[in-house]
Every structure is written in structure tokens, then in C-alpha cells.
Structure 1
């Protein structure tokens, strides 16, 4: 049996210490009020021999959970997803492919663990059963894993904000409104992008789709509902924690994206990726570095271009900041367009992207 433990740190950052004390106080009050741990699961991924399981243990008022409850949670306004209290350092049993492991969630309740499998898993979506131990009534939840085997040759990594959905994240005030106040059902898909992604999936039925964002795991339920509502291909979300870390006030979004891309390319060396992003934040620079470091792993880069007005509101001077034109890597095709329709036209000229 494998056991994971929180990452050690000799001198935690002051912000993390304060956050831990606040969560401990809130957890004590809620526990006295009858709240109990519940498992919030996220889609993981892996190979036939190794998997990455993602989940979180949170405190929740005692009530039966159901699919209808998940739908209601997905429809809550953004700020309510951040009103959560973790149940730290709980032991959780994982059952994957006939193998059982026990892991321990970290100080924020997160489970992010890599495990070997006792027998090779079949490609495709595989089930995981998680059980929170050490409770009078253990809670159980189901999760899923996307397994890619050596026959998979094509994959997609997509940014979310302003690539799949219109959120205007570079604009601080509007981004805060979209994230914390606006109702999830009001969010719009970038025109043509769902259709483009479905075309890619039809050309490569065994492709793996991954949605990479600097957004918080608190928004995972809402993001899954958005992607499903607009019929984007199903795939794991790769998000990040929100709030202080053991080393600073906040995590680096750029570091998170670069590390996630490196992780995928290390785990799946047989896959060549199409990277989708936009030029409103740092996707161009991140994809440029990845393509230069691993040109044999990147089939193409597709950048959604913001308008000049959007660039100005984002704090960028048009034509003076990073753009798709700056990404010029030998052996890696780069295209740009204002929406999914334009990107589809340009990707149509790249061999092996929209056709098998």
C-alpha cells in the first residue's frame, strides 16, 4: 500500500500559517455543528502502468449527495465555490484497477498522487473509487481516469479562459466579475471553438483532451458544466490551488502551466500535441518555450487573437506585446485566428490535425 504525505517545509510562509489557523478554527466550528468530510473528485489521467489521481476532502453539512446536487452546485455563482473549508490530513483509500492504496490529503485537503497499477489498465476512461477513512461513517465517491496507451499518437492541450470561453481574464475588474459574481449559465463559448474541437476529435477518436488553466480547483464543477453544455470533448481539467502556499502568497500561473505541459509530455512521449491558447496572457511565451524545448512533441500551436480593443483593456499595446507571430519554431506549425472558424481554416493546412 502506498501512502502520500504533505510536502515538508521547515519554515512555512506566514500567509500559509495564517490560512491554516483560519481553516482550523472554521473547521472546529463546522465539525461541532455536525459537518463531516466529503470527497470532491476530479478527472485524473495515466498510462496503463501508472496513474495520477486528483481529489479534495472538504467539510460539508450532512446530507445525501446526488447527481441533482452536483447540478445545483455547478449553477451557483462563482464566489460561492470559494466558500469552502478543507478537511486536512485525512486518510483516503483509493481503488484503481483492482489495486488498493491509502493516501493522506495535504493541508488544503488536496489529493494529488501518482500510483503504479498492479495490472495494466485498458486505454480510455477507467473508474476510481475513493473512500475517506477514520470517520464514523466513511464517505465514498467515484472518479474517473483517462488512460492513454502507446497507440495514442495525438493529443490536445487547451487553455480555458478566452480560448474556450469568453471571460476576459486579463481585465482585472471584469475578470473578477466573471469569476465571482456572474452566473455560470451566462458564460459564452468563443465562437467556433466547440465545433473546431469536435472536428479534431472526429479526426482522432483516441486523442486525449486536457484543459489547462491557472484557475482554481474551486471552479472545477462550473468549468466541467460549461464544457459539457457546449459539447467540448471530455477531458481532465488541470487547475491549481487558490490562495497562499508554503512558500508565498500565491502560486505562479505560468509555472503551473509549464510544469503541467512538461508532465504530460514526460508521461506520454508517444503523443504529439496541438496546443490551443490566446494572446491575452502568457500562452504565446509558454508555448514558445515548450516548442523550442520539445519540438518533436508539438504538432502545432493555435493561438486565438484578441482584438485591439481587448488587448488595450488587457493592458497590452497592440503589436508591441507577444503575439502568435513571435512563435517561430522550426518543425512546429503555428496558426492564429480571431475565433474557432478562422483557426479551423488555418489548421486545415497543417497535415494531420483536422485529418487523420
Structure 2
């Protein structure tokens, strides 16, 4: 039965609408719009906050005891969102106001130009729908001086997804939730070590770039928070069948370029996996922004021919002065990071302990 449901996805969103639309309408609420906000980011002088306005539906976050079928139904509800276009949106950050109107797909983008610079830290913006008296708050990451930034993929880099195996990936995404999906061993402590930097007291920003759809934003955010992986802005995309199938497009490279241009004086550490095209994307990013990539870590989740391809690519990057490490786990990445001065010497034992603890609880990955 699961495979029959998975095959229904081949028709894309239109096919899901046709198959599940009547059931979804039964779960929709009549009432005010559902305001969704996504973690903002920017500099002390300029900040961007994105979000979406949808029709409401009855929906509760997942629990560890939820059945696969309940998880599947919640994913269907997420993917079959009903967008509201032309809705005015007003945002406030400190004393600065920004305005926008939702697009055809319900998205909006608020751009704040700050007359007085903000300190480099986490801030909170307020977002309202004045025509509907709806409002919400959203975290904003303001980045100033830092040792470096971290740009990370999510699937098969932070979250065990098996994205290079289509049907196994779909089964993981569709039939699990934020409390049942698992991180790779020690990944949270590794990212905390990188965020703290070489002296252990830094505040380096972490950004997550993924081809996952914005519909899954809440699930991913709760996963990161639950698994104690450093929070940071998520750069996702609108969904279609190609999104679910994990096919390559320009989204990741454009998102990385956005980070590089937003923070022109900040070098970056790039983290991904060998399952899809992260190594090739990161190579292109390093070439477009020479001298800006401190290191590239690629989690080896494939082996065989794909491993050979990544090793060849590593040689090309080394000739250009960029260090790409193909690593089996978080501990190997941490060992290299310590040896090259990206993390504090005292961070390695913490990563080692976290890897051992996670493996004991959830298996060797």
C-alpha cells in the first residue's frame, strides 16, 4: 500500500490535489489565514524576513508514538497547502517598518533597512496581517564580525534521509516526523564546535540550504531544535515532483551565492554529502568566490563509483587551494577541523563523546 501511495506522487501537486483534495478540504478550518514566518537573516544595516500566508487546517506536531499513516497524512496536509495571494503584510523590527503583499503562491518578503545598526545577535521581528488582525513573531539572525559562516545541506548531511535512493527517501520523508527522524551521530556537537570557532567563544552563523520544500519548514525547524543542532536560517524552495525526487537545479548554488554576497567579508565552511551533487555545487561556489571557502566537508553516504568521482573532484579543488575532505562521520570532520584551526582543541572530546552516545542510542551512523 505504501508503494501505491508513493507512486501517486508522480503526478506532482496536481495529482495529489486530485487524489487527496476532498479529504483535505474536510480538515480545513474556516477562519482567519494561517501566517507562516521563516527565520530571517541579515546584517546590522539590512534584514530580510520571508513567510507565507495559507488557509488554516487542523494540524498537530508529531510525537514519537505516531503511526506511519498519521505521519503520511500530515505530510499530505503540508504539501497540499492552499495559498492566499494579494494579502497585505506588515513587519516591525525594532522601530523599523517593512511592507509587502503575498504572491500567487502566498509568499512574502519583508526587507528592513535599519537607520540605526543592530548588534550582531538574535533578534525578534513582529509580522502582522492588518486586514485579518493576525500576527506572529519570527527570529532574525543578524551577523556582524565572525570567524566564518557555516553553510550546510540537510538531507543525508544532518538528517538521515537516504536521498540518493528515491523510494527509500520518500518513505522516510512521508512516513516519519520531526521526533522519529534521526540525525547523524554527533552532528549537533560538531556544528556547535564550528559555531564557537577556534577559541571556543565565537558566534559563527549557521545557514541551512536544502532542496526540501518550504512546506516542511516547521518539521525541519522542530527537528533541529529537538536534536540540539544549532538553529539558523533555512533556505528552502517551493515544491514540485522534482523537489521530492531530489533532482538538481540551481537553487542551492543561488542560495550559497546569496549568502556570499550578503556577507562579502565572511569566509565559509561548506558541508554536504556525496549522495547527490553537493560536491559539484560547492566546487562551483569556490570558483565563483575565490578565497572565501575555508573548507568543504562531504559526508560519504555512497561509496563505489560516486566516491571515485568525489575523490577526483577533491584533487581539482586542492589544485585551486581549497581543501575538500570526504569524511565517513562527524568525528572525522571534527578531527580535520581541529587540525586546521576551525574549532577549539577542547571541542574534539565533546564531539567524540556525542558520536559515541548517539551511536549507542541510534546505531552506527
Question: For structure 1, which runs of at least 5 residues remain unmatched after alignment?
Answer: 1-14, 312-316
What is the aligned partner in structure 2 of residue 321 from structure 1?
A: 309
Within the alignment, does 1:279 sit opposite 2:274 as a pair?
yes
Within the alignment, does 1:268 sit opposite 2:254 as a pair?
no
Question: For structure 2, which runs of at least 5 residues remain unmatched after alignment?
Answer: 1-10, 348-365
Within the alignment, does 1:304 sit opposite 2:294 as a pair?
no
Please report the TM-score for the alignment, with normalisation by the length of structure 2: 0.77
Residues 33 and 233 (structure 1 numbering): CA distance in 2 closer, same or farther, change over 3 Å? closer
The Cα of 1:182 is off from its aligned counterpart by 2.2
* Matches of 1:337 and 1:197, distance apart in 2: 15
* Matches of 1:82 and 1:33, distance apart in 2: 16
Does the 8 Å CA contact 1:158/1:210 hold for their aligned counterparts? yes
Please report the TM-score for the alignment, with normalisation by the length of structure 1: 0.79
* Matches of 1:147 and 1:33, distance apart in 2: 36
Does the 8 Å CA contact 1:333/1:350 hold for their aligned counterparts? no
* Matches of 2:247 and 2:162, distance apart in 1: 19
1:200 to 194, 197, 201: 194
Q: How does 1:2-151 map to 2 (within 5 A)?
A: 34-61=30-57, 77=71, 78-135=75-132, 138-149=133-144, 151=145
* Matches of 1:319 and 1:162, distance apart in 2: 15
* Matches of 2:295 and 2:168, distance apart in 1: 31
The structure in which a higher percent of residues are strand is 1
* Matches of 2:172 and 2:79, distance apart in 1: 14
Residues 220 and 254 (structure 1 numbering): CA distance in 2 closer, same or farther, change over 3 Å? same
Q: Select between 83-92 and 40-49 the one with higher mean Cα deviation.
A: 83-92
Runs of 4+ in structure 1 over 4 Å off? 69-72, 250-253, 353-356
The Cα of 1:353 is off from its aligned counterpart by 4.2
* Matches of 2:208 and 2:344, distance apart in 1: 19
The Cα of 1:124 is off from its aligned counterpart by 0.7
Within the alignment, does 1:347 sit opposite 2:337 as a pair?
yes
State the SS of the aligned residue for 1:348: helix
* Matches of 1:207 and 1:153, distance apart in 2: 6
Residues 167 and 237 (structure 1 numbering): CA distance in 2 closer, same or farther, change over 3 Å? same
What is the aligned partner in structure 1 of residue 209 from structure 2?
A: 212
Does the 8 Å CA contact 1:155/1:273 hold for their aligned counterparts? yes
* Matches of 2:48 and 2:90, distance apart in 1: 14
* Alpha-carbon RMSD: 3.3
The structure in which a higher percent of residues are helix is 2
Q: How does 1:117-266 map to 2 (within 5 A)?
A: 117-135=114-132, 138-149=133-144, 151-203=145-197, 205-243=202-240, 253-266=248-261
